[in-house]
Amino acid sequence: MKNLGLIATLMLASVPVSASDSLDICLVTGHPASDIKYEKIQRIKIGKNSYGSVTDVLQVFADKADALGANAVINYVGSQRFGFWPWRFVRPVVRGEAVKLYFSNGQTCRDIGGATVREVIKTNKEPHHI
């Protein structure tokens, strides 16, 4: 019985603490302005296999970007897509390119036309297109 408690404690301790940090990932629907430097990391795409909202998959999407070392996703698109049988159902899919943005002069995500994952989940509105 003591081993069971130890295992549960170890499992809880192994839960990533940075999950809330991934909500600060900046989502930009296009490319940032030419004066903003960034380093491309990898294209990412996350979808749900059933009905739902884009906000249902944003946490997983943000965690993936964070795990890659990104602090932003450019060319972000969150939409409802047809599944394998298009006449049967649609599913939420989010995609974009994970990047490391280098903000300058105290710029924020909002300043460059983006929104954090946290803001998108809260408002259920994607960042405005720049």
Q: Quick one: 19-123 is in which CATH superfamily? A: Hypothetical protein apc22750. Chain B (3.30.110.70)
Length of the chain: 130
pTM above 0.85, yes or no: no
* Residue extents of the structural domains in the chain: 19-123
37-87 pLDDT tens trace: 999 999 999 988 878 888 889 999 999 999 999 999 999 998 887 766 655
Return d(Cα 17, Cα 64) in angstroms, integer: 14
